[in-house]
Chains A and B, each alone.
Chain A
């Protein structure tokens, strides 16, 4: 059976028509997960719960009227709280944390009938661009040996790319959905800030974090997002906006679509082969009748400095609840209260998390707040204005997701700054809160290339339309890595 190469759309048809059952599908995927466990894309596989959920799904399917995604397997990034299941966030700190409640996204996908097979590997507390900061070791990129899958949603991207699951959830704070999607040759969508509830999604940087789907195709991303998105009264930052039907406009013509290319996305930092690949993809759009317009983002280069104040500042506070008192790691025999805090946190957090906590603590401390935090917020506005201004004259903005294809394991761990700088094309979008996608757009040395499509606030349907049309004339998204066919 080659069910594993099917898309959500195809699997839905197969289930609804009774071609196969959810239990068959679930077992087939569980087998693949076991077969390819060396990929290290999962932190937990919840076999028993999955089979129980599949049984329920089958009952619903037999009864008729089952929602579209009923019975389709998927898995969650281990950042989403799942009741009764370990939710580690890739950290030793939460290695013993059995979440006592469900994230809204988890509830939403359960309600849509999807069957969760487990929890996916990720950079510790979503801090990283390679999956190498995970307490559970890095997940591997199925496309090339000893190559990172990207991060922080590295396990999600690797598992979908290797077809161990047809779709996964991810989260994106500075590129954590788009960059691993690009590195692993899958489709990833970071929605507008506020589109998907953050309740139960363990916070890294609250004003930047956003959950989204990671799938094989844009059509599937539309189906997943449909189930994930929506207003949540439990999240003050959840948008009170109607969720449109993301599937209805997928086939709209792109004739006269205005595509903006920021010249700053194509400067000296971009790898030549990458530049060529993106140009080729953009030409594909020209063929479809789109108009290409050069735009400018003069403040783009300050996105990384601003991000590395805002994100660490927020995370330093967000992670203060990890204190060894009510849940999570607690050191042995604490001598006194400070010893409890210092050792529990010292033992529970890894190096990259500590770096960011330290920088954030410093940036907020007395005497540095204005020069760092306020300054970063001002730059955040300038960057946002660059985008909103450009989006007044174009429908979407396109560019690369990453300056190079996936790098080798260990290649950038020695120099954290070099790792940070590689997020130049994704980070600015989080600062602005805009929606953006990464879709497969070719290969460089057998490693996937991602094309980034950025849209206006709440224009997810437009992005999906633009992405889907490209996937109608290309087959990059249908490629499976060697050894995982």
Chain B
């Protein structure tokens, strides 16, 4: 299956990924090639196969409901691009 540059732009927006307009064509080509590779999967019938989500054939371990974290706000916010009064700042969100 081949993608169009329009498809790539839509996917890039879904992923909030800026792509230079001059590179769109090469991404489109790369992605089409990757999808061709991926489509080799259809060469075999897998109707009766159970999907394998995980290599570990075991179950989720559960954690006791006990507080083990303390306030490290200043430590964590020391690496943040923009904060004020303990809040992370982003451009105004309109709803």
A and B touch in the complex (CB under 8 A): yes
- Tell me which of A193, A340, A374 contacts B90 (CB under 8 A): A340
Residues of B within 8 A of A372 (CB): 38, 41
Produce 1/0 per residue, A334-349, CB < 8 A to B: 1111111111011101
**A359 within 8 A of partner (CB):** yes
Question: Contact between B55 and A358 (Cβ–Cβ < 8 Å)?
Answer: no
Q: Cβ of B7: which chain A residues have Cβ within 8 Å of it?
A: 362
Which residues of chain B in 38-95 are interfacial with respect to chain A, using CB atoms and an 8 Å cutoff?
A: 38-44, 46, 49-56, 58, 60-61, 63, 72, 75-76, 78-82, 88, 90-93
Mark each residue of chain B from 4 to 23: 1 if its CB lies under 8 Å from any CB of chain A, else 0: 00011001111111111001
For A375, the chain B residues whose CB sits under 8 A away are 41-42, 46
Does the CB pair A305–B56 fall under 8 Å?
no
Report if A302 contacts B (CB, 8 A).
yes
Chain A minimum-CB-distance residue to B63: A233
CB distance from B77 to the nearest CB of A (A): 8
Contacts of B76 in A (CB 8 A): 100, 326
How distant is A159 from chain B, measured CB to nearest CB, in Å?
Answer: 27
Residues of B within 8 A of A100 (CB): 72, 75-76, 78-79
The distance from the CB of B8 to the nearest CB of chain A, in whole angstroms, is 7
Q: How far is the CB of B39 from chain A (nearest CB, A)?
A: 7
Chain A interface extent, by class? 35 or more
Residues on B with beta carbons closer than 8 Å to the beta carbon of A346: 17-20
Partner among B15, B16, B40, B79 whose Cβ is within 8 Å of the Cβ of A97? B79
Chain B interface, number of residues (Cβ within 8 angstroms): 54
User: Do A358 and B60 have beta carbons less than 8 Å apart?
Assistant: no
Q: Is the CB of A240 within 8 A of B80?
A: no
Does residue B30 face the partner (Cβ distance < 8 Å to A)? Answer: yes
B14 — nearest CB in chain A belongs to which residue?
A361
Q: Is the CB of B30 within 8 A of A343?
A: no
Chain B residues within an 8 Å CB radius of A301: 40
CB distance from A53 to the nearest CB of B (A): 21
- Closest approach, in angstroms, between the C-beta of B48 and any C-beta of chain A? 9
Contact status A365-B14, CB under 8 Å = yes
Q: Report the nearest A residue to B92, measured CB to CB.
A: A336
Name, among A194, A239, A375, the residue most crowded by chain B CB atoms within 10 Å (CB to CB). Answer: A375
Asked if B25 is at the interface (CB within 8 A of a chain A CB), the reply is no
CA distance A323 to B90 in the complex (A): 10
Closest to B18 in A: A346
Which residues of A sit under 8 angstroms from B44, Cβ to Cβ? 299, 302, 379, 382
Name which residue of chain A comes closest to B38, CB basis: A305
Contact assessment for B55 and A193 in the assembled complex, using a CB-CB cutoff below 8 Å? yes
A193 CA to B34 CA in the complex, in Å? Answer: 26
With the chains together, A377 CA to B91 CA distance in Å?
39
| Residues of chain A lying within 8 A (CB to CB) of residue B55 | 193-194, 207-208, 384, 431-433
* Nearest Cβ on chain A to B58's Cβ, whole angstroms: 8
Question: Chain B residues with Cβ under 8 A from A335's Cβ?
Answer: 91
Cα–Cα distance between A165 and B20 once the two chains are bound (Å): 40
Name which residue of chain A comes closest to B49, CB basis. Answer: A378
Q: Does A22 contact B (CB under 8 A)?
A: no
Q: Contact at B53–A362, with CB atoms within 8 Å?
A: no
Residues of B close to A412: CB separation below 8 A? none
Is A433's CB under 8 angstroms from B27's CB? Answer: no
Which residues 25-79 of A sit at the B interface, judged by CB distance below 8 A? none
Give Cα distance in the complex from A316 to B13, angstroms: 13
A304's nearest neighbour on chain B, judged by CB, is B37
In the complex with contacts A330-B81, A378-B46, A362-B11 CB distance below 8 A? yes
Do the beta carbons of A316 and B91 come within 8 Å of each other? no
- Does A417 belong to the interface (CB within 8 Å)? yes
Contact at A362–B79, with CB atoms within 8 Å? no
CB-nearest residue of chain B to A342: B18
Q: Which residue of B lies closest to A334 (CB)?
A: B91
By the criterion CB–CB under 8 Å, are A309 and B38 in contact?
Answer: yes
Judge whether B8 and A358 touch: CB under 8 Å.
yes
- 20 A-B pairs besides A299-B44, A349-B17, A358-B31 with CB distance below 8 A are A97-B79, A98-B79, A100-B72, A100-B79, A194-B56, A233-B63, A301-B40, A302-B41, A305-B39, A305-B41, A308-B38, A336-B91, A337-B92, A345-B18, A346-B18, A347-B18, A355-B30, A358-B8, A375-B42, A384-B55
List of 7 A-B pairs having minimum Cβ-Cβ separation, nearest first: A346-B18, A433-B55, A377-B51, A341-B16, A381-B52, A330-B81, A378-B46
Name 23 A/B residue pairs within 8 A (Cβ), A-sorted.
Answer: A96-B79, A237-B56, A302-B41, A305-B37, A305-B39, A309-B41, A325-B81, A327-B80, A327-B81, A337-B91, A338-B16, A346-B19, A358-B12, A358-B17, A358-B27, A359-B31, A359-B38, A365-B14, A379-B49, A380-B51, A382-B49, A420-B37, A433-B56
